[in-house]
Structure 1
């Protein structure tokens, strides 16, 4: 196990910059998730850490050791890919043993380590089978077992659950996280799934267009996004974003007003008369008369009309028109609301976000 440090890491493919001056430290034994949409540079970053891509600029350190230009075999890393990448002509036992045989580990030790890894992944009864005889989840367990059997300093995972069905993904998330906590191996996990990131990561590093936008524990990134991109990428449904103008004692949108306490308006004094972006998550609002307000210390109300109701069983997503804008309100349980009904949307003032319109960076 080691600390991984990336310093000004940059990767260019011709004129295209895939990763742009990335600075990031992954702590010894930490489970860090690289999160972002397709093409944001997260997989390229992982491949540079693995030694499969050579950086255009910057350095990669494992502890105090500069590994920037070392081949993968000299880095003591293991990687689990999106595809299961198991050898179809080998048994489960031989698939798991393969990296140990390459390293010419003694046969007795190979057997001991294979059985140890298989037991951890609960596939010890499958060692004599071939991949074609396994389910997708079982093949992914084989891939993970093969990765940990060499006891790597760094474990790299590139969207390893994306080929599994939804129910199995949820189960495997928990198993991989518990396995990492047991092994205490430094792990870097790439995904575009914000639910995976929130449930698995000790910290999340959000990337977009090759740049690192924010790093922090999942709850911190969720509650205090530093930009509109982070705010809308994390959370389901995504954060409501409304364009408003700053007035003396309120925010004015297209056909609606949002009154806010003076302490918040004071933070916006440099934006007086200017447009800003107002954000609030669907779960940080309720419909007046429906839902619990006790957890809200300060509130503000906006009049609206119910436009559509998504009944999800455990939750209800209410689409509400306020002025000329449409927002979503997430309420717990089954809420039978009539389309067209006039309602008051109650907002938790301490959970609002305001962003600079031009930079899209957080002001409040």
Structure 2
């Protein structure tokens, strides 16, 4: 495994800035997720790390070794693709062994490593089958086995679970994380699915428009999002955003709108601020640290495990609230809920950056 350091990496396709100054240091052995919407540069960054794309500017290091101009075959990296990319004319054991044969590893050692990795991924009974005889999940395991059998310094995964059905994705998430705990290879994983990122990553790099806007642990990303974009991208349902006026009365400074008044610890020197609150931090019972907001039930999503209520608090604004699954609410009725003001987030509406108030 290797420490991966990315210094001011830029990648342009004509006038399109796919990567616009990426700086990232990934400690060896970590499972790091590149998270962001389509077109933000996640896969391009991964291809640059693997050597499949040449950089426009910048450098990439594995440990202290400059890999910027090193061919892919000499980087000791392995990739797992969304499309599995297993050879259809080869049996499973030959698919797994193929990278070792290219490196001219002795036959006995190849057999030992294929045995080791097939047991690790629970595919020992599939070794004599062809890919057409496998399910999607089994083929993905074969692709992962082929990637790690030659013990790469860095393992790259590009949305490897997106072709699987929902139940299998959940199972494979846990299997890939457990696999990483066993082999401890430095892993970089691309996804647009924030649930995958939160459950699998040791750290998450949230990307937008070719830049990394926040890098941290899942807890840091969730509890202290650096921008409105990060706050809205991570969490399901999405965080609520309310535009609040900044007012003062004597020595008290507060944010007010929609019948809600929240005291601020300091003056943001702005006429208005954006307040964010997650649906799970809006409660049905009043506490000492909550403030009431009233609305009309606009729409109800009954998910059986929980109910999502869309509460109309003005003619143009809905508040999304999570409530227990067995609580009956009807569209059109009035409803009081309570915002936990110790769990709210504030952002500058101009820069969209976090303000600690």
Which category describes the TM-score, using the shorter chain as reference length?
Answer: over 0.9
Contact kept in structure 2, 1:9 and 1:21, CA below 8 Å: yes
2:336 to 341, 344, 350: 344
What TM-score does the superposition give when structure 2 sets the normalisation length? Answer: 0.96
Alignment of 1:131 with 2:131, yes or no, is yes
- Asked if 1:236 is matched to 2:233, the reply is no
Q: Could you say what secondary structure the match of 2:105 adopts?
A: coil
The answer for the alignment partner of 2:277 in structure 1 is 280
Alignment partners' CA distance in 2, 1:238 and 1:269 = 25
Runs of 4+ in 1 over 6 A off after TM superposition: none
2:24 aligned counterpart, secondary structure: strand
Instruction: Name the CA distance, whole Å, in 2 between partners of 1:297 and 1:36.
Output: 37
* Cα RMSD (Å): 1.2
Pairing 1:314-353 to 2, within 5 Å after superposition: 314-324=305-315, 325-353=317-345
8 A Cα contact 1:287 1:343, kept in partner: no
**Contact 2:256–2:262 at 8 Å: present in 1 too?**
no
Post-superposition offset of 1:304: 1.4
Paired with 1:301 and 1:268, the residues of 2 have a C-alpha distance of 23
Residue pairs, 1:264-303, within 5 angstroms? 265-271=264-270, 274-288=271-285, 298-303=289-294
Give the direction of change, closer, same or farther, for the CA distance of 1:4–1:101 in structure 2 (3 Å limit).
Answer: same
Q: Which residue of 2 aligns with 1:252?
A: 256
Listed as ranges, the gaps of 5+ residues in structure 2 are none
Is residue 173 of structure 1 aligned with residue 143 of structure 2? no
| Map of 1:33 onto structure 2 | 33
Matches within 5 A, 1:179-258: 179-248=179-248, 249-253=253-257, 256-258=258-260
Deviation sequence 1:43-74 (CA, Å, 0-9, x none): 00000000000111111000010001101111
Q: d(CA) in 2 for partners of 1:89 and 1:74?
A: 27
Are residues 127 and 317 of structure 1, via their aligned partners in 2, closer, same or farther at CA, if it must alter by over 3 Å?
same
Contact 1:90 1:130 in 2 (8 A): yes
SS for the counterpart of 2:326 is coil
**Distance (whole Å) between structure 1 residues aligned to residue 345 and residue 90 of structure 2:** 54
The DSSP-based 3-state class of the residue aligned with 2:176 is: helix
- Measure the CA separation in 1 of the matches of 2:236 and 2:52: 34
Asked whether 1:308 is paired with 2:299, we answer yes
Q: Residues 311 and 335 of structure 1 are in contact (CA less than 8 Å); yes or no, is this contact kept in structure 2?
A: no
Could you tell me the TM-score, scaled by structure 1's length? 0.94
Aligned partners of 1:250 and 1:257 also within 8 Å: no
| Larger deviation, residues 326-335 vs 186-195 | 326-335
| Whole-Å separation in 1 of the counterparts to 2:186 and 2:19 | 22
Question: Aligned-pair distance for 1:333?
Answer: 2.9
Q: CA deviation at 1:344?
A: 1.7
User: Superposed, which structure 2 residues align to 1:18-167 within 5 Å?
Assistant: 18-167=18-167
CA contact (8 A) 1:312 1:334 kept: no
CA displacement at 1:156 relative to structure 2: 0.4
Distance 2:18 2:306 in 1: 39
The structural deviation recorded for 1:338 is 2.1
Count of equivalent residues: 351
Structure 2 counterpart SS, 1:247: strand
